[in-house]
Structure 1
Amino acid sequence: MTLVLVVVGALVGAPLRYVTDRLVQARHDTPFPWGTFVVNVCGSFVLGGLGGAGTALPASILALAGTGFCGALTTFSTFSFETLRLAEQRAYFYATLNVLVSVVAGLGAALLGYTVVSSALG
């Protein structure tokens, strides 16, 4: 049953990642990979929130939302590829910015999600 929940979560997360990436990137005329940045930060927030719920959530919800949905929504491989592509294009500023801002914003979003949910559950 857990495998089915992971697959269902991924069936929602993967297309949402693609659509969000395309919509966000289409609005920016810059080499910076805004679409990937947005999905990774949003996924970090959701996963942080799931962690903040602690034992209040059943394992089935964690499999569906955490492993399935967030696992398919976020993308370390695309982040890595886009960073390397920027470096190959000698866009070193954007490559460095992508690494620094993505790590700081991702960790910050996870901490914020964790804090919001754990505070709400008291």
Structure 2
Amino acid sequence: MPIQQIHADIEQFFNAYCLAYNQQDSQGVARLFAAPSGIAQHGQYTHFANPDTTAKNMHELCQWYAKQGFLQANFKINHLFLQGTQHAIADIAWQIERKQQAPWLFHTTYNLIKTSQGWLILLCTAYEESFT
């Protein structure tokens, strides 16, 4: 598979991921994670052993976003590191628009794996979180 096609597939993956968040579709977000998978943030690691634990976490996250005045998410792929044709690391800059508040700006890196279901997240690491 040509490198340009892999880049396009991964960008399409993140468009679907962002759309699921914008629709507050926690099940849709959860389906984009491998099982097992996890998230690292604030010096802690949360392990998602199976699809149910991932779905529960994403449901809670979408509820938290709603309480924070979530309007919509936007992203930009800063860096994409291909590791063969079935693995990649993507560094994403996120901007979360919120009601009557400044946007929330942060970065996340994603370790991705290509499966029979398409690209999935193995690990995401959120960093440089700040409110402006």
Higher relative contact order (CA 8 A, sep 6+): 1
Normalization by structure 2: what TM-score?
A: 0.33
Instruction: Return the structure number with greater helix share.
Output: 1
- Pair member with larger Rg: 1
Normalization by structure 1: what TM-score?
A: 0.35
Instruction: Return the structure number with greater strand share.
Output: 2
